[in-house]
Chain A
Amino acid sequence: MTVLLVDDEQRDRKWLKDLLCDELSAHGPFHEGTNGQEAVELASKLRPQLVFLDIKMPILSGIKAAEQILKEHPEIGVIILSNFSDEVYVRQLWKIVPADGAFGYVLKNASNEQVLEAARAVLSGDCWIHPGIARVIQRTQNRAQSLTAAEYEALICIALGMTDSAIARQLYLTEKAVQSRLKSLYSKLSIPGRSESKEAEFNQRCRAVYLSLQRGLINQSELEEWESKLMGSQAKVN
């Protein structure tokens, strides 16, 4: 069990290392690198379970390094820890990470909890994308499969455990409209409908939340944010 921390900023490496030593010492030891090239070499040598990569680094950028690392060792979990919020990087990760692989994209202003959350998610094979970015990425993936804003809202609501009528009230919609949104959400996440398969073994709602968690469409911090927002607005409504 090894974790690789690669960043050209000594300050950031130290912060990360301290944090991980405190909270995830079981996954140690922690090795450090200072640029993309080093990251690739260390990854081949150490076969770490998890690699933290900054994007802006001398010699080789984090994104390029991730590409090379994943090419040789697709099983390694990669977390990009950067100050760039452009979704282009997330999209690029999506491209280079194998279908069943896991990755994280964390902005450097993340709280310690968010970093740990991402690390744990990736270690357990899920994707984790920093809240601000995740919201836009839904709309810019493959057009046919990406979620619309309405579908995304519906997804958040069911993940928070709201009923159809609660969602309808929250979003100022009829229940029917809510149901049609959920339908299209299920189809995009490729969850078979009740009518389509008699042997439907899954509750569609729970399945949708699970799949989107796994794909990094939603994550805990994001839901927390939404919850505080929605509860606040509900409080006002009530």
Chain B
Amino acid sequence: MGILRSVSAWVRPSSILAKSGSGQSPGTGSGPGQMEGILFQRLFWGTMAGCLSTLLLAESPVLDTIEHSLLEWRYKVAYTINARIFGRPKSQDIVLVSYDDDDQFDLEQESSEGGPSPIQEVLTRLIPVIEQSDPLLIVVDLDLAGKADPRLVKVFRQYRSNIVLALLGNLEDPSDFPSMDLRQASSACAYDFLVQETNGLVCQLPIYNQDTDAVSELDKTSSFDFKSLEYENDVALYEPLPKVVAGLLTSKAGVGPTLGQIPKYKADNLPVYINFRGTKYDTYQTRDILNNNSKAVPTGAFQDKVVIIGTKYTQKQDNTPKVRTPLARNVMHAQIQADAINTIHKNQIIYSFSKNWYHHLLVFMGGLLGALAAVLPLGKRSYAFLAIGASALIFSQVLFQLLQINFVVTPILAVLSFAYVFGTVIFLDTDLRVRNRELAQARETMQFRAEQERRRIANDLHDETLPALSSAARIADDLSKQMPDNNLPIELRSKLDNTLVEMRRVINDLHPSVLETMGFRPALENLLHVLERDTNISANFVDAGDNSENELSENTKLQLYRIVQEGLNNVGKHSRASQVEVEIKPEDDYLVIKVVDNGIGMDKKRVSADSHGLLNIRQRAEFIGAEVDWSEPNPNKFEQGTQLTLRIPILKG
């Protein structure tokens, strides 16, 4: 069967139907060549999308913010879990001296008549007491704004080698510290740095790498400029802690990074210290110390300890990059200081997103994940990506928590999600195209089957039903001869004749037998005769006279016949034409069939492109791989009207 062979070459009905019926993996449905094409497309575009999204992401500062947020979360989780498992570690090195409203001194009250704040008096009395107990170091964490108490200045000067000041504000800024005396006294001590922000107090131990030998004007801009975060001027507004304090801390208390470690801290990997109240400190009340309450303050409580003197502040609760503060309210500022020192004591360098090799690795990984997302089947892809993301997160958390190795996972998670989204889009896009193609093929197969089925029915009716009706009619004839007086057999005969006429019409609609019995061109010509008979349109058949249609399959010819039939049908119904011409001729490797009329022409606005008749023609043309086109007729032929042009490739040989 010619039809079957030619159709099966490109439709392969059984395999297509089976695949699309089961609705499984679209990539495998359409032959090896097509599938490779799809796979390649998916891999290629998936990789591109993955790389691109990673590049965008890696260059974005958002990633740093995300990473810091994640880091904070990590610390919190790690401290919480570790505290549950191992208990809260108790600091051996640091004790806190706290002050609150229960004490007899009211620190919060305004200083009287512009005098020094009451805390200065407290400190003046407190520091000598503690110094008697031979501590390693006293970190004084207080707001010293306001007028200086000369007695406190004296105390600072006296013990300056053993005092670190954690100050709110910049010591060298007269607007922060109007008291010249106090500033000078404090300058003699080492000092820490506090920043007062509108939403609370943030403490910062500004450790950063200042190349000791090359502190030039040029370097100031290249090194991490914490200053510029808070101060507008590029002038060195404060003396950084490292050289002064770190050495002191290290030599006296053995806490904090050594001078040798400090160069590790760079602007890119600014150390972040985070307090989650993970440590227990011995805490003493100012009142007890001053009253020499030996019950509350055992002798030797301060010996060889770092003593942090602080007051109670309400802490900010929001998250600020780079600096993390306790999330709970009413945490003593002194405790933050202690935790900061503790964190540094462990010498953890916490790197943020490094923009060198990790960057390239990420881009590579993004491409890989993108390709993966573009190829994996829909259900599996989500599981795979969730699994990868979750395992990366858990793995890195375990590393962080137990081994204190910070494996930067945020970029991976970000890349993972981007790759997932883009890869899925690409997958869906290609999938849609594959499915559309399958759908079209299935439709063609259906059409082919429907045509076969119609033909079978037409044949059955023609071969079985018509003869049966005819013989019934002849029996009616016999009856009418035997009963000449009875009118019924004659009526029966005429009824049967009408039925036969109707039946013939049905059979012809189902399958035009003319094509087979007469051939393609006479069949087309017949259509014109029928049109002439039924309408007042004069029809003309122009036949180039070759037999090029012999190369076409039976099915193609049938579809062409139906298209011309539909075209002529449209001419008869809508065109108001008086003349129509059907021309058939070969052009190069094509057989061209034109249906030209001199009617009113096709108004593109009025005739929507998907009107049933036109859609029918288009689908049939698509089905046999023909090009179909509507245009104005050649003005030499008709001045107006419509021309339907069909071009069917003929495979010679």
Contact = CB atoms under 8 A, between A and B. Distances in A.
A233 B61 CA distance: 100
Contacts of B525: 88
B579 interface: no
B517 A84 contact: yes
B613 interface: no
B516 A109 contact: no
Given A88-B522, A143-B538, A109 B533 contact: no
Interface string B433-471: 000000000000000000000000000001100110111
A12 B474 contact: no
Contacts of B474: 15, 111-112
Nearest to A57: B517
Interface string B536-547: 001000000000
Interface of A is mostly: helix
A89 B526 CA distance: 9
B529 interface: yes
Given A86-B508, A136-B533, A140-B529, A61 B516 contact: yes
Interface in A190-230: none
B496 interface: yes
Interface in B487-531: 493, 496-497, 500-501, 504, 508, 513-514, 516-518, 522-523, 525-526, 529
Given A88-B514, A113-B477, A140 B504 contact: no
A56 B513 contact: yes
Nearest to A225: B494
A83 B518 contact: no
B501 A85 contact: yes
A12 B467 contact: yes
B538 A109 contact: no
A56 B501 CA distance: 18
Given A112-B477, A143-B538, A88 B526 contact: yes
A83 B462 contact: yes
Contact of B493 (A12, A89, A111): A111
B469 A91 contact: no
A109 B514 contact: no
B473 interface: yes
B431 to A, nearest CB: 48
B467 A83 contact: yes
B463 A108 contact: no
B554 interface: no
B533 A139 contact: yes
Contacts of A12: 467
A168 B290 CA distance: 145
B532 interface: yes
Interface residues of A, number: 31
Contacts of B473: 109, 111
B533 A84 contact: no
Contacts of A15: 471, 474
Interface in A42-90: 55-56, 61-64, 83-89
Contact of A9 (B467, B477, B493, B529): B467
A88 B529 contact: yes
Max chain B Cβ within 10 angstroms of own Cβ: one of A55, A89, A111, A113: A111
A112 B471 CA distance: 10
A236 interface: no
Contacts of B538: 143
Interface string B474-493: 10010000000000000001
A107 B496 CA distance: 13
A111 B470 CA distance: 9
A126 to B, nearest CB: 23
Contacts of B493: 111
A161 interface: no
A107 B504 CA distance: 11
A149 to B, nearest CB: 11
A21 B523 CA distance: 37
Contacts of B504: 83-85
A84 B513 CA distance: 8
Nearest to B465: A83
A20 B477 CA distance: 17
Nearest to A63: B517
Nearest to B463: A9
A43 B545 CA distance: 30
B497 to A, nearest CB: 6
B335 to A, nearest CB: 105
A87 B532 CA distance: 13
Given A12-B467, A88-B529, A140-B532, A132 B518 contact: no
Interface in A115-141: 132, 136, 139-140
Contact of A56 (B469, B517, B522, B533): B517
Contact of A11 (B467, B501, B514): B467
Interface of B: 462-463, 466-467, 469-471, 473-474, 477, 493, 496-497, 500-501, 504, 508, 513-514, 516-518, 522-523, 525-526, 529, 532-533, 538
8 contacts: A15-B474, A64-B517, A86-B513, A87-B533, A88-B514, A88-B529, A108-B467, A140-B533
Q: Which 6 A-B pairs have the closest CB atoms?
A: A88-B526, A109-B470, A61-B517, A111-B477, A83-B466, A109-B500
Given A83-B504, A88-B514, 6 more contacts: A9-B463, A56-B516, A61-B518, A63-B518, A108-B466, A136-B533
